[in-house]
Structure 1
């Protein structure tokens, strides 16, 4: 029974952490617009306002990473990085050949649809008179 209570408390704490993280990010965005030249008497340069958004986002991410969901997300990211290293990426020659094939196919389809459009135009103009 204590386990369920601890899980519930942890769950509530995690929800609170995520709520605080979202509020910090929103506060950073709000500060960007609040300290704009036309909105507030205490306007700041755009570089400072951008830094406030970046700081709010960074702090929000750091707070969210302390929750269980944030830790699971970090584990997922680490696993994804391992999987990316396992991928066999195409060589430059294969990439060039594929790009040329896509380009040629695009030209062929363009010609096909142009001819189809011309044929339908002739057909419609013949039917209309």
Structure 2
């Protein structure tokens, strides 16, 4: 099992083509500039343009930033991670409606029983403390 995971990680690392450090840095600078342009531009052009125009401008800048972030080395790793996570999520066997209902009732029952136990324990402790503090020596 562990060897399969190691081999899968090696394949994943090999399949993600690494960009040069300079290109990767340039892409991250573009991402930061686009995010900053979206935020600052929204405030700066508040009086010049209506809200829908500014929202569209911000959306375009943010989409471009996400695209540039997705093609960086880290973005490629993140995309492969999410692809694998989606494949694993498809393998999940979800409980039926009846199993969910039964489990819910079990949890509610245990919660009620635990609540009654703690209430009784608390009441006994409070009674003992009241008895001890009312004693006069």
How many aligned residue pairs are there? 117
Q: What is the TM-score when the length of structure 2 is the normalising length?
A: 0.68
1:44 aligned residue: 50
Residue 105 of structure 1 deviates from its aligned partner by: 1.3
Q: Which runs of 5+ in 1 are unaligned?
A: 1-6
User: Are residues 102 and 48 of structure 1, via their aligned partners in 2, closer, same or farther at CA, if it must alter by over 3 Å?
Assistant: farther
User: RMSD value over aligned CA atoms?
Assistant: 2.6
Judged with a 3 Å threshold, the aligned counterparts in structure 2 of structure 1 residues 109 and 62 are, in CA distance, closer, same or farther, namely same
Q: Which residue of 1 aligns with 2:66?
A: 61
Aligned mate of 1:23, from 29, 33, 55: 33
Residue 20 of structure 2 aligns to a residue in which SS?
helix
SS in 1 for 2:93: coil
**Contact between 1:35 and 1:43, CA under 8 Å: does it hold in 2?**
no
- d(CA) in 1 for partners of 2:108, 2:54: 44
Q: Partners of 2:83 and 2:89 in 1: how far apart? A: 10
Name stretches of at least 5 consecutive residues in structure 2 with no aligned partner: 1-17
Mapping of 1:107-118 within 5 angstroms?
Answer: 107-118=112-123
Give the TM-score normalised by structure 1.
0.72
C-alpha distance in structure 1 between counterparts of 2:113 and 2:54, whole Å: 50
Task: Evaluate the alpha carbon distance shift between residue 120 and residue 53 of structure 1 in structure 2; reply closer, same or farther with a 3 A threshold.
Answer: farther
Cα shift at 1:64: 0.4
Question: Could you say if the C-alpha distance between residues 72 and 120 of structure 1 is closer, same or farther in structure 2, counting changes exceeding 3 Å?
Answer: same
Q: Quote the offset at 1:52 in angstroms.
A: 4.6
1:105 and 2:115 correspond: no
Once the two structures are TM-superposed, the CA of residue 65 in structure 1 deviates from its matched residue by 0.8
Q: How far apart in 1 are the matches of 2:61 and 2:132?
A: 65
